[in-house]
Amino acid sequence: MAAGEIDRASLDQWYVIDTEAVIPVGRSSNRLLGTDLIVVKEQNGAVAVFAEGREGALPLRHRFGFLWTTLGVPEREIFALPEADEPDRRYVACGVVTVKASGLRIVENFLDMAHFPFVHTDVLGAEPYTEVEQYDVEIRRDADEVWATNCKFFQPQAALSATDGITTQYMYRVMTPFTTILYKTCPNSDTRWDVIGLFVQPLDPDRCRAHPIMYLIDDVSTTTELVHFQQLIFLQDRIILENQRPVLLPLEPRKEIPTRADASSIAYRRWLKEKGVTYGATTAA
Protein backbone atom coordinates (compact mmCIF):
# COMPACT_ATOMS: atom_id res chain seq x y z
CA MET A 1 0.00 0.00 0.00
CA ALA A 2 1.55 3.28 -1.12
CA ALA A 3 1.56 6.32 1.16
CA GLY A 4 -0.90 8.04 -1.17
CA GLU A 5 -3.41 5.24 -0.55
CA ILE A 6 -3.22 5.43 3.24
CA ASP A 7 -6.07 7.18 5.03
CA ARG A 8 -5.18 10.66 6.24
CA ALA A 9 -6.04 9.86 9.87
CA SER A 10 -3.31 7.21 9.94
CA LEU A 11 -0.87 9.14 7.78
CA ASP A 12 -1.02 12.37 9.77
CA GLN A 13 0.27 10.93 13.05
CA TRP A 14 3.57 10.80 14.90
CA TYR A 15 5.01 7.27 15.17
CA VAL A 16 7.83 5.76 17.20
CA ILE A 17 10.38 4.05 14.95
CA ASP A 18 13.01 3.14 17.55
CA THR A 19 14.45 3.72 20.98
CA GLU A 20 17.00 6.50 20.66
CA ALA A 21 19.62 4.53 22.61
CA VAL A 22 19.68 1.62 20.14
CA ILE A 23 19.94 3.57 16.86
CA PRO A 24 23.39 2.68 15.50
CA VAL A 25 25.87 5.21 14.12
CA GLY A 26 25.75 5.17 10.31
CA ARG A 27 22.91 4.05 8.05
CA SER A 28 20.21 1.62 9.17
CA SER A 29 16.89 0.54 7.71
CA ASN A 30 13.42 0.86 9.16
CA ARG A 31 9.82 0.81 7.94
CA LEU A 32 6.58 2.66 8.58
CA LEU A 33 3.14 2.33 6.97
CA GLY A 34 4.44 0.21 4.12
CA THR A 35 7.26 2.63 3.35
CA ASP A 36 10.96 1.75 3.70
CA LEU A 37 12.98 4.23 5.76
CA ILE A 38 16.69 4.97 6.02
CA VAL A 39 17.94 6.27 9.37
CA VAL A 40 21.24 8.14 9.34
CA LYS A 41 23.01 8.83 12.63
CA GLU A 42 26.16 10.92 12.76
CA GLN A 43 29.04 10.43 15.19
CA ASN A 44 27.85 13.51 17.09
CA GLY A 45 24.45 11.89 17.64
CA ALA A 46 22.49 13.91 15.07
CA VAL A 47 19.79 11.80 13.37
CA ALA A 48 17.96 12.17 10.06
CA VAL A 49 15.30 9.88 8.57
CA PHE A 50 14.53 9.53 4.87
CA ALA A 51 11.61 7.76 3.18
CA GLU A 52 11.84 5.75 -0.02
CA GLY A 53 10.66 7.79 -2.99
CA ARG A 54 10.63 11.11 -1.16
CA GLU A 55 12.96 14.07 -1.30
CA GLY A 56 14.36 15.54 1.89
CA ALA A 57 14.36 14.32 5.46
CA LEU A 58 11.20 13.51 7.39
CA PRO A 59 10.14 15.55 10.44
CA LEU A 60 11.58 14.21 13.70
CA ARG A 61 10.82 14.46 17.38
CA HIS A 62 12.78 13.12 20.37
CA ARG A 63 10.37 12.26 23.19
CA PHE A 64 10.09 9.65 25.97
CA GLY A 65 13.44 8.19 24.91
CA PHE A 66 12.16 7.39 21.42
CA LEU A 67 12.64 8.76 17.94
CA TRP A 68 9.32 9.77 16.36
CA THR A 69 8.58 10.62 12.75
CA THR A 70 5.65 11.02 10.37
CA LEU A 71 4.86 10.48 6.70
CA GLY A 72 2.05 13.01 6.83
CA VAL A 73 1.27 16.39 8.36
CA PRO A 74 0.14 15.95 11.99
CA GLU A 75 -2.32 18.55 13.24
CA ARG A 76 -0.79 18.52 16.73
CA GLU A 77 2.40 17.71 18.55
CA ILE A 78 3.06 14.45 20.40
CA PHE A 79 0.67 13.99 23.34
CA ALA A 80 1.59 15.14 26.83
CA LEU A 81 2.62 12.66 29.52
CA PRO A 82 3.51 14.60 32.69
CA GLU A 83 4.62 11.47 34.55
CA ALA A 84 7.50 11.10 32.10
CA ASP A 85 9.04 14.25 33.55
CA GLU A 86 8.75 13.31 37.25
CA PRO A 87 12.32 12.85 38.50
CA ASP A 88 11.64 10.03 40.98
CA ARG A 89 10.03 7.68 38.48
CA ARG A 90 11.84 4.71 37.00
CA TYR A 91 12.02 5.06 33.23
CA VAL A 92 12.03 1.57 31.73
CA ALA A 93 12.14 1.06 27.98
CA CYS A 94 11.10 -2.56 27.48
CA GLY A 95 12.58 -3.27 24.05
CA VAL A 96 10.65 -3.94 20.88
CA VAL A 97 8.49 -6.89 19.83
CA THR A 98 7.57 -7.62 16.21
CA VAL A 99 4.03 -8.96 15.84
CA LYS A 100 2.34 -10.41 12.77
CA ALA A 101 -0.93 -8.64 13.47
CA SER A 102 -2.68 -5.37 12.82
CA GLY A 103 -1.41 -2.55 15.00
CA LEU A 104 -5.02 -1.71 15.80
CA ARG A 105 -5.50 -5.26 17.12
CA ILE A 106 -2.56 -4.70 19.48
CA VAL A 107 -4.04 -1.50 20.90
CA GLU A 108 -7.44 -3.16 21.33
CA ASN A 109 -5.84 -6.12 23.12
CA PHE A 110 -4.08 -3.68 25.45
CA LEU A 111 -7.50 -2.31 26.44
CA ASP A 112 -8.98 -5.74 27.16
CA MET A 113 -9.17 -6.92 30.78
CA ALA A 114 -11.27 -10.02 30.09
CA HIS A 115 -8.29 -12.03 28.85
CA PHE A 116 -6.19 -11.53 32.01
CA PRO A 117 -7.13 -14.79 33.81
CA PHE A 118 -6.80 -16.93 30.69
CA VAL A 119 -3.68 -15.49 29.00
CA HIS A 120 -1.76 -14.06 31.99
CA THR A 121 -2.76 -16.73 34.48
CA ASP A 122 -1.62 -16.22 38.09
CA VAL A 123 -0.05 -12.88 37.19
CA LEU A 124 -2.61 -10.38 35.89
CA GLY A 125 -5.57 -12.66 36.57
CA ALA A 126 -6.70 -16.03 37.86
CA GLU A 127 -9.79 -18.15 38.06
CA PRO A 128 -12.35 -17.87 39.55
CA TYR A 129 -11.87 -14.07 39.43
CA THR A 130 -12.89 -13.71 35.78
CA GLU A 131 -15.65 -11.09 35.88
CA VAL A 132 -14.97 -7.67 34.37
CA GLU A 133 -17.00 -5.24 36.45
CA GLN A 134 -18.77 -2.37 34.74
CA TYR A 135 -16.57 0.63 34.03
CA ASP A 136 -16.89 4.02 32.33
CA VAL A 137 -15.81 4.82 28.78
CA GLU A 138 -15.87 8.09 26.90
CA ILE A 139 -14.45 9.80 23.84
CA ARG A 140 -13.06 13.07 25.17
CA ARG A 141 -13.79 15.39 22.28
CA ASP A 142 -11.67 18.29 23.55
CA ALA A 143 -8.53 16.13 23.54
CA ASP A 144 -9.71 13.69 20.83
CA GLU A 145 -8.81 10.71 23.04
CA VAL A 146 -10.58 7.57 24.24
CA TRP A 147 -10.62 7.05 28.02
CA ALA A 148 -11.79 4.12 30.15
CA THR A 149 -12.00 4.88 33.87
CA ASN A 150 -13.15 3.21 37.08
CA CYS A 151 -11.75 -0.10 35.86
CA LYS A 152 -10.79 -2.68 38.45
CA PHE A 153 -9.65 -6.28 38.38
CA PHE A 154 -8.27 -8.73 40.93
CA GLN A 155 -4.67 -9.62 40.12
CA PRO A 156 -2.36 -12.15 41.82
CA GLN A 157 0.71 -10.08 40.82
CA ALA A 158 -0.25 -6.71 39.41
CA ALA A 159 3.38 -5.58 39.21
CA LEU A 160 6.81 -7.03 39.78
CA SER A 161 7.03 -5.23 43.12
CA ALA A 162 3.66 -6.57 44.33
CA THR A 163 3.90 -9.17 47.09
CA ASP A 164 0.23 -10.18 47.35
CA GLY A 165 -2.82 -10.26 45.16
CA ILE A 166 -4.71 -6.96 45.03
CA THR A 167 -7.74 -5.48 43.32
CA THR A 168 -6.03 -3.22 40.82
CA GLN A 169 -7.51 0.07 39.67
CA TYR A 170 -7.00 0.99 36.04
CA MET A 171 -7.43 3.91 33.68
CA TYR A 172 -6.88 3.44 29.96
CA ARG A 173 -6.07 6.27 27.57
CA VAL A 174 -5.85 6.06 23.77
CA MET A 175 -4.16 9.16 22.38
CA THR A 176 -3.88 8.24 18.69
CA PRO A 177 -4.99 5.18 16.71
CA PHE A 178 -1.64 3.48 17.41
CA THR A 179 -0.63 4.80 20.86
CA THR A 180 -2.13 3.99 24.25
CA ILE A 181 -1.32 4.34 27.95
CA LEU A 182 -2.41 2.48 31.06
CA TYR A 183 -2.52 4.07 34.51
CA LYS A 184 -2.73 1.45 37.26
CA THR A 185 -2.59 1.03 41.01
CA CYS A 186 0.95 1.53 42.29
CA PRO A 187 1.84 -1.06 44.98
CA ASN A 188 4.39 1.37 46.44
CA SER A 189 2.22 4.51 46.66
CA ASP A 190 -1.38 5.18 47.65
CA THR A 191 -1.50 8.54 45.89
CA ARG A 192 0.13 7.91 42.50
CA TRP A 193 -0.27 5.67 39.48
CA ASP A 194 2.19 3.42 37.72
CA VAL A 195 2.20 4.28 34.01
CA ILE A 196 2.65 1.82 31.17
CA GLY A 197 2.68 2.96 27.56
CA LEU A 198 2.45 1.03 24.31
CA PHE A 199 3.56 2.78 21.13
CA VAL A 200 2.80 0.75 18.02
CA GLN A 201 4.78 1.16 14.80
CA PRO A 202 2.70 -0.21 11.91
CA LEU A 203 5.12 -1.69 9.38
CA ASP A 204 2.31 -2.92 7.14
CA PRO A 205 -1.45 -3.33 7.66
CA ASP A 206 -0.90 -6.82 9.13
CA ARG A 207 2.55 -6.48 10.73
CA CYS A 208 3.96 -4.09 13.29
CA ARG A 209 6.50 -3.46 16.01
CA ALA A 210 5.34 -2.74 19.55
CA HIS A 211 7.39 -0.47 21.82
CA PRO A 212 6.36 -0.84 25.51
CA ILE A 213 7.55 1.67 28.08
CA MET A 214 7.01 2.06 31.83
CA TYR A 215 7.24 4.92 34.32
CA LEU A 216 7.14 3.32 37.75
CA ILE A 217 7.44 4.10 41.44
CA ASP A 218 9.72 1.17 42.25
CA ASP A 219 13.11 1.53 43.94
CA VAL A 220 13.53 -2.19 44.63
CA SER A 221 13.39 -4.12 41.35
CA THR A 222 16.29 -4.10 38.92
CA THR A 223 15.81 -2.77 35.40
CA THR A 224 16.46 -6.24 33.98
CA GLU A 225 13.75 -7.74 36.20
CA LEU A 226 11.26 -5.06 35.18
CA VAL A 227 11.98 -5.53 31.47
CA HIS A 228 11.69 -9.32 31.72
CA PHE A 229 8.37 -9.02 33.58
CA GLN A 230 6.87 -6.73 30.94
CA GLN A 231 8.23 -8.77 28.04
CA LEU A 232 6.76 -11.95 29.54
CA ILE A 233 3.33 -10.30 29.57
CA PHE A 234 3.63 -9.04 26.02
CA LEU A 235 4.95 -12.29 24.58
CA GLN A 236 1.95 -14.07 26.08
CA ASP A 237 -0.24 -11.55 24.26
CA ARG A 238 1.63 -12.04 20.99
CA ILE A 239 0.55 -15.68 20.79
CA ILE A 240 -3.09 -14.60 20.94
CA LEU A 241 -2.66 -11.64 18.61
CA GLU A 242 -1.00 -13.64 15.86
CA ASN A 243 -3.83 -16.18 15.88
CA GLN A 244 -6.75 -13.76 15.78
CA ARG A 245 -8.98 -13.89 12.70
CA PRO A 246 -9.57 -11.80 10.79
CA VAL A 247 -6.04 -10.42 11.03
CA LEU A 248 -7.25 -6.86 10.43
CA LEU A 249 -9.49 -5.18 13.00
CA PRO A 250 -13.17 -5.22 11.97
CA LEU A 251 -14.83 -1.83 12.36
CA GLU A 252 -18.33 -3.01 11.52
CA PRO A 253 -20.09 -4.10 14.76
CA ARG A 254 -21.78 -7.08 13.10
CA LYS A 255 -18.44 -8.80 12.37
CA GLU A 256 -17.72 -9.64 16.02
CA ILE A 257 -20.19 -9.87 18.90
CA PRO A 258 -19.18 -7.63 21.85
CA THR A 259 -20.06 -8.09 25.52
CA ARG A 260 -20.29 -5.62 28.41
CA ALA A 261 -16.59 -6.19 29.08
CA ASP A 262 -15.80 -4.86 25.59
CA ALA A 263 -17.00 -1.30 26.24
CA SER A 264 -13.54 0.20 25.65
CA SER A 265 -13.14 -1.79 22.44
CA ILE A 266 -16.52 -0.60 21.19
CA ALA A 267 -15.60 3.03 21.86
CA TYR A 268 -12.16 2.60 20.27
CA ARG A 269 -13.61 1.08 17.10
CA ARG A 270 -16.29 3.79 16.89
CA TRP A 271 -13.61 6.47 17.30
CA LEU A 272 -11.46 4.88 14.56
CA LYS A 273 -14.43 4.74 12.23
CA GLU A 274 -15.33 8.38 12.91
CA LYS A 275 -11.76 9.39 12.09
CA GLY A 276 -11.75 7.38 8.86
CA VAL A 277 -8.95 5.01 9.91
CA THR A 278 -8.61 2.07 7.53
CA TYR A 279 -4.91 1.13 7.85
CA GLY A 280 -4.88 -2.20 9.70
CA ALA A 281 -8.68 -2.38 9.66
CA THR A 282 -11.41 -3.97 7.62
CA THR A 283 -14.67 -2.12 7.04
CA ALA A 284 -16.46 -4.88 5.12
CA ALA A 285 -19.89 -5.70 6.52
State the burial class of residue 96 (Cβ atoms within 10 Å of its Cβ: 0-12, 13-18, 19+): middle
Same domain, 213 and 270: yes
Domain hosting residue 24, numbered range: 3-69
- Asked if residue 83 lies in contact with residue 216, where contact means CB atoms within 8 angstroms, the answer is no
Give the CA dihedral 256, 260, 261, 267, nearest 10 degrees: 70
- Asked if residue 162 lies in contact with residue 217, where contact means CB atoms within 8 angstroms, the answer is no
pLDDT digits (tens, 9 = 90+) for 170-206: 899 999 999 999 998 887 777 889 999 999 999 999 9
- Domain count along the chain: 2
The pLDDT value recorded for residue 5 is 79
The pLDDT value recorded for residue 54 is 92
Residue ending a domain, among 39, 69, 99, is: 69
Same domain, 65 and 91: no
* 75 domain residue, yes or no: no
* 170 domain residue, yes or no: yes
- CA–CA separation, 82 vs 28, rounded Å? 32
Same domain, 62 and 133: no
Same domain, 33 and 146: no
Instruction: Count CB atoms within 10 A of the CB of residue 52.
Output: 12
* 74 domain residue, yes or no: no
* 77 domain residue, yes or no: no
Same domain, 111 and 217: yes
For residue 43, what is the domain's CATH number? 2.20.25.680
Same domain, 34 and 173: no
Write out residues in the chain with pLDDT < 70, as ranges. 1-4, 113-132, 153, 155-166, 253-261, 284-285
* 76 domain residue, yes or no: no
- CA–CA separation, 63 vs 68, rounded Å? 7
For residue 109, what is the domain's CATH number? 3.90.380.10
Residue ending a domain, among 25, 44, 69, is: 69
* 20 domain residue, yes or no: yes
The pLDDT value recorded for residue 78 is 97
Same domain, 25 and 116: no
- Asked if residue 198 lies in contact with residue 210, where contact means CB atoms within 8 angstroms, the answer is yes
The pLDDT value recorded for residue 170 is 86
Residue ending a domain, among 40, 69, 98, is: 69
- CA–CA separation, 189 vs 130, rounded Å? 26
Same domain, 155 and 228: yes
